[in-house]
Amino acid sequence: MQVFNIDFGEQKRSRIVGIDLGTTNSLVAYMDAARPEVIPGPDGRIVTSVVSHTEAGELVAGEAARQMLVTRPDRTVYSVKRLMGRGVEDIGEELKLFPFRIAEGSESVIRLALGERAFTPPEISAAILRQLKANAEAFLGEPISQAVITVPAYFNDAQRQATKDAGRIAGLEVLRLVNEPTAAALAYGLDKRQEGIIAVYDLGGGTFDISILKLRDGIFEVLATNGDTHLGGDDIDNLLLRIALEDIQTEWGEDLSGIGGAVQLLRRAVIEAKEQLSFVPETQIRFEYGGRQYLRELKRDLFDHLITPIVDRTLEPCRQCISDAGVAVEQIDEVVLVGGSTRIPLVRSAVERLFRARPHTELNPEEVVALGAAVQAAILSGDVEDKLLLDVTPLSLGIETMGGVVSKLIHRNSTIPASATEHFTTAVDGQTNVLIHVVQGEREMVKDCRSLARFDLKGIDPLPAGLARIEVRFLIDANGILNVAARDLRTGKQQEVEVKPSYGLTEDQVEMMIEESYQMAEEDLKERQAREARVEADAILAAMEKARQSDAYFDLADEERSGIDRAQNELLLAYHSDNHLLIRAKIEQLNAATMKLAENMMNTVVRQALKGTKI
Ligand code: ADP
Ligand code: MG
């Protein structure tokens, strides 16, 4: 939705909520008058990111599912965010610690076996989103169909796509994915500063993110991000859990580690102790099982000693990030703490020492990301005055060239939306096909990077090696999602290819999951899907009307303008059809036709924002 993303128009549509879809905890928030507020549900302000497949065949999320973690661990999943957009070989290490059973036949798409059915990670995440959506609808008293969802800065393309898929399966149109640290800075209203450099340190349950942001005259830019997708409170829990299991084996002469229910109960006990230790100098791990009791004193001194290696693992990414951002520590004006694990005093003091500044802790570190998502949602719905938010791509993107070497087109920490074009040629005489292999990562060799997608550009004229000219164009949209296009310059033959991540769901699979998840009559479903597609069409048509008055529009070439007219007419023709796929296809077509326009408009906004800058 290129045009829509940069439209800050004032037309009022239905409310857009902001969602923090966390590894451990998830929250939904909205903009109430002038401030963002978390929306409570029946279990409180947090929906625990645990999902269970009930005997009745329903997927439930939150507290009900957390109970089932103990009673039915075989039908229950936690930390599903770690599995989003990932392949079976990616998660081998994870599976050693997690009691998930991968369903047979899982190849490019993981399916978790939960009782008599298997589910993909996006389907499981969708259950969490549905709960958040229901909470918001009950609280606000209106249907909610659009959301902004936050993702860790480190999420790659496949993981971002999987998050969008989860939204669609839950009946939510995901208008924007926002990096969590960026959202946190928005929640603190740090954009109101005239200028400054801000570090956001986010230690949650499953991920660690550090970002350095720069503010200047209304422009909010992420200079650099770094982190570790496998570092957080879970690691502390696992550490304490191992110690407790060993203790118990010594005391009771029994190994509980194979008993799912017991392990989950013990996990809850150690988490409780850990969380208390942030506020009191000593506590106890209390656990009862099979009529026996385990009790262990835990003092903060020992706890600090135990977790020092974990806390230390956050420091190197911080230093790297500062260096990538090209700033000196002294230049960092503010430090923001995000994530429940930043309540730990040792974490706070480590951050303070490294950044030589007292961090912001005024907002609840577990809520700040959701609050920021609500601010972003309000910006998109036009409830907040114009504001431009720049993000960066967390990992480099490129394609495979001769000898398995990566040729990078877009470097990490590039501001998005971003595009890059490069020219390649054939390696063999008479070659008529070129395999384009899209990879993501920082290493030089393809084998050390992550494979995102492969596709063939076919029908090249057979020529001696080295004569064909193939243009490859990468475009990352405002959500950080990648599109790749390849063109044979000699024949002018063009093949626009949408990159489908290697580990992801196909459009058909998502459609099928949406159908399954609605659990309603087919007619209702059709009607609803068509309506949702029309809402999306309305948004882009409205954005188009505005765009037509912009300078950027008049700067377009005649054929670009007529291409837009054609696409818009086709969308209008399809608008009243009951075929949502047709409507969506026409929306995509209009999006594609307005790509250039969107870029021009974005450049104009940036130029205008920079105009007032003093040098
Ligand atoms: P995520 O974004 O990964 O879902 P959150 O920001 O919600 O994570 O943080 C959840 C983590 O914070 C969990 O590991 C939880 O145990 C931890 N946590 C919450 N409160 C405290 C506390 N008082 N002291 C230490 N850790 C805490
Ligand atoms: Mg978080």
Q: Where along the chain do its domains lie?
A: 16-231+313-392, 233-309, 397-519, 521-610
pLDDT at 217: 65
Q: Which ligand is nearest to the CA of 184?
A: 2
Q: Contact 511/494 with Cβ under 8 angstroms?
A: no
Q: Residue 32: which region, alpha, beta or left (left: phi > 0; alpha: psi -120 to 50)?
A: beta
Structure tokens at 584: 């969506």
Specify the ligand 1 atom closest to the Cα of 25: 4
Tokens coding 216? 């200047």
**Closest residue to atom 20 of ligand 1, CA basis:** 340
CATH number 1.20.1270.10 is the correct assignment for the domain at 521-610: yes
With a 6 Å cutoff on the Cβ, whether 275 touches ligand 1 is yes
For ligand 1, say whether the CB of 181 is within 6 Å of any of its atoms. no
- The phi and psi torsions of 596 (rounded to 5 degrees) equal -65, -45
Tokens, residue 424 = 């390649």
Question: Active-site residue 55, yes or no?
Answer: no
Mutate to test the pocket of ligand 1, among 20, 208, 366 (most ligand atoms within 8 A of CB): 366
Angle of helix 522-547 relative to helix 580-593, nearest 10 degrees, comes to 20
Instruction: Answer yes or no: are the C-beta atoms of 117 and 108 closer than 8 Å.
Output: no
Q: Is the CB of 111 under 6 A from ligand 1?
A: no
- 304 as an active site residue: the answer is no
81 is catalytic: yes
Q: Check pocket membership of 232 for ligand 1, CB cut-off 6 A.
A: yes
Counting from 1 in the atom list of ligand 1, the atom nearest the Cα of 207 is 3
Count Cβ atoms below 10 Å from residue 404 Cβ, excluding itself.
13
What letter would DSSP give residue 577?
A: S
pLDDT of residue 8: 34
pTM for the predicted model, two decimal places? 0.68
Distance separating alpha carbons of residues 85 and 185, to the nearest angstrom: 26
Residues 6+ apart with CB under 8 A from 21: 49, 81, 125, 128, 129, 149, 150, 151, 163, 166
Give the per-residue pLDDT at 203.
96
- Compute the distance from residue 366 Cα to the ligand 2 centre, in Å: 7
Among residues 407, 503, 395, 393, the alpha carbon closest in space to that of 446 is found at 407
Scanning the structure block, which residue is given the tokens 């882009």? 540
Mean pLDDT (10-residue bins), the chain, 615 residues: 33 79 95 91 95 92 90 89 84 70 72 90 96 95 94 83 94 90 88 85 91 76 83 94 96 91 91 97 96 96 97 96 94 95 97 96 95 91 59 77 85 76 84 86 78 82 83 80 84 68 63 62 67 83 84 88 92 88 91 84 64 43
- Report the separation in Å between the CA atom of 183 and the middle of ligand 2, taken as the mean of its atom positions: 11
Structure tokens at 290: 């099979």
What's the confidence (pLDDT) of residue 614? 39
Whether the CB of 278 sits within 6 Å of ligand 1: yes
Identify the active-site residue in 123, 157, 180, 228: 180
Q: Is the peptide bond before 181 cis (omega within 30 degrees of 0)?
A: no
Q: How many Cβ atoms from other residues are within 10 Å of residue 352's Cβ?
A: 14
Catalytic residue check, 578: no
Task: Name the closest ligand to CA 205.
Answer: 1
CA distances from residue 275 to 145, 226, 271, 344, 438 in whole angstroms, order as listed:
35, 26, 6, 8, 43
Closest alpha carbon to 147 in 7, 18, 1: 18
In contact, 577 and 530? CB cutoff 8 Å:
yes
Separation CA 326–CA 328 (nearest Å)? 7
Rounded distance from Cα 338 to ligand 2 centre (Å): 7
**Residue 9 structure tokens:** 């128009």
Cα(547) to ligand 2 centroid in Å equals 36
Please report how the helices 345-355 and 315-325 are oriented relative to each other, as an axis angle in degrees rounded to 10: 30
CB neighbourhood size of 140 (10 A): 15
Distance of CA 441 to the CA centre of its chain: 17
Pairing of strands 117-119, 282-289: unpaired
State if residue 209 touches ligand 1 by the CB under 6 angstroms criterion. Answer: no
What is the C-alpha separation between 61 and 46, in angstroms, rounded?
11
| Domain 16-231+313-392 = CATH 3.30.420.40 | yes
The pair of structure tokens assigned to 463 is 């020529």
Burial class of residue 247, CB neighbours in 10 A (0-12, 13-18, 19+) = middle
Residue 583 host element (H or E):
helix 580-593
Could you tell me what percentage of the chain is helix, strand and coil, using 3-state DSSP and rounding each to the nearest 5? Answer: 45, 25, 30
Q: Which residues contact 395 (CB under 8 A, 6 or more apart)?
A: 154, 156, 412, 440, 441, 442, 450
Query: What burial class does residue 117 get, using C-beta atoms within 10 Å of its C-beta: 0-12 exposed, 13-18 middle, 19+ buried?
Result: middle
Beta strands 482-488 and 470-476 are antiparallel
Among 18, 21, 81, which residue's Cα sits nearest to residue 47?
21
Q: Cβ–Cβ contacts within 10 Å for residue 437, how many?
A: 18
351 CA from centroid of ligand 1 (Å): 17
Rounded to 10 degrees, what is the CA torsion of 145, 385, 209, 238?
-40
Cβ(432)–Cβ(461) below 8 Å: yes
**In whole angstroms, how large is the CA radius of gyration of the chain?**
25
Q: Whose CA is nearest to atom 12 of ligand 1?
A: 340
Ligand 1 touching residue 204 (CB < 6 A)? yes
Residue 276 CA: nearest ligand 1 atom is 23
The crossing angle, in degrees rounded to 10, of helices 522-547 and 558-574 is 150
Measuring from atom 19 of ligand 1, which residue has the nearest CA? Answer: 340
Given 7, 81, 191, 274, the catalytic residue: 81
CATH 3.30.70.20 fits 397-519, yes or no: no
Q: Which atom of ligand 1 is nearest to the CA of 279?
A: 23
pLDDT at 435: 86
In the reported structure, the alpha carbon of residue 366 is separated from the centroid of ligand 1 by a whole-number distance in angstroms of 7
Q: Which CATH architecture group holds 233-309?
A: Alpha-Beta Complex (3.90)
Q: Whose CA is nearest to atom 6 of ligand 1?
A: 339
